Amino acid sequence: MARRLVECIPNFSEGRRIEVIDAIAAAIGAVQGAAILDRHSDADHNRSVITFVGTPEAVVEAAFAGLRRASQLIDMEMQQGEHPRIGAADVVPFVPIEGVTMDECIALARTLGERVGRELQIPVYLYEAAATRPERQNLANVRLGEYEGLKVAILNDPDREPDFGPSQLGKAGAVAVGARALLIAFNVYLTTDDIEIAKKIALAVRQSGGGLAYVKALGLLVKGRAQVSMNLTDYTQTPIHQAVELIRREAARYGVAVHHSELVGLIPQAALVDAARWYLQLDEFSPDQILETRLEDAFRQETD
């Protein structure tokens, strides 16, 4: 079956006015061939994340519809919140899910960016795998100074020139559009309330601290417990169990243990199967031994 699926996870700078988020979600969901999987709003961050999937054509159309609606309903001159942001629609990543390459997702980011710049007159910065400048692979650089800082810098700093659209911010601000691999947000809670231990472990575990590749990590204090908060940016290269076991070892060195862990958002089935296989030492295994996979195949054949 040549099903072609792309995931898109736009972040909007509105997490309080439900009617605004509903309107944006409605615009996305109205596009034929796109289906919303998840919605999450945070009032403190004043930010909402909408996860949807669809064919390559449908996700670009749906992303554009959501972006247009957000630019009409969110005024960045008024917007406040804890989360860094440069625009009403702040970040729009495309993620290859099934039957689609990363290069195709990069092309989708450019298609969307060009259209947003031209039709909505919003500055667009291509980021991560879609970046046209090396420094823009890192989203933090694109968001430097946030809306307020970018509003000034875009006028005369050649480093802040957008990939598409005008070199000037309107009330909708700017948007970062990109392509990236599927990301797993995974947090490990420790048997301590000492945030310093979480910070030391995060530093040891993350790529930038000399730890594991494809791992970003922060030490936080959440619900009265030290937490190592991670983004695993390519679980096919650096699997969850490797990160968890390294945290466990580092924690032991500080005399604490792993209390429990949590998954934020979605995870591909393969990532959990990989973990089960590693711990169970299940060397002799093929993914088509999973009953549900076999069922899908059997019933697809029936309807062919």
CA distance 138 to 96: 19
* Residue 39 touching a copy of itself (CB under 8 A): no
Q: Build a one-symbol-per-residue string for 9-38: x at contacts with a copy of itself by CB under 8 A, - elsewhere.
A: --------------------------xxxx
Strand partners, 91: 11, 176
- Which positions from 160 through 189 interact with a copy of itself, judged by CB under 8 A? 182, 188
* Residue 4 touching a copy of itself (CB under 8 A): no
Long-range contacts of 236-241 (CB under 8 A, 24+ apart): 236/181, 236/270, 237/213, 238/212, 238/213, 238/214, 239/271, 239/274, 239/275, 239/278, 240/184, 240/186, 240/271, 240/274, 240/275, 241/274, 241/275, 241/278, 241/279
CA distance 136 to 142: 6
* Residue 225 touching a copy of itself (CB under 8 A): no
Known catalytic residue: 83? yes
3-class secondary structure, 24: helix
* Residue 97 touching a copy of itself (CB under 8 A): yes
Q: How far is the CB of 115 from a copy of itself (least distance, A)?
A: 25
Q: Build a one-symbol-per-residue string for 244-263: x at contacts with a copy of itself by CB under 8 A, - elsewhere.
A: x-------------xxxxxx
Q: Smaller CB distance to a copy of itself: residue 155 or 290?
A: 290
Q: Smaller CB distance to a copy of itself: residue 156 or 286?
A: 286
CB 33 within 8 A of CB 82: no
Q: How far is the CB of 147 from a copy of itself (least distance, A)?
A: 32
Element (H, E) at 127: strand 124-128
* Residue 222 touching a copy of itself (CB under 8 A): no
* Residue 44 touching a copy of itself (CB under 8 A): no
* Residue 43 touching a copy of itself (CB under 8 A): no
CA distance 151 to 174: 9
CB 236 within 8 A of CB 187: no
Alpha helices in 143-239 (DSSP H): 146-156, 195-205
Q: Which residue among 53, 63, 198, 232 contacts a copy of itself (CB under 8 A)? A: 53
* Residue 159 touching a copy of itself (CB under 8 A): no
* Residue 5 touching a copy of itself (CB under 8 A): yes
Comparing CA positions, the residue from 53, 153, 33 lying closest to residue 98 is 53
Q: Active-site positions?
A: 83
- Using CB under 8 A, list all residues that contact a copy of itself: 5, 35-38, 53, 97, 182, 188, 240-241, 244, 258-263, 265-269, 272-273, 275-277, 279-285, 289-295, 298-299, 301-302
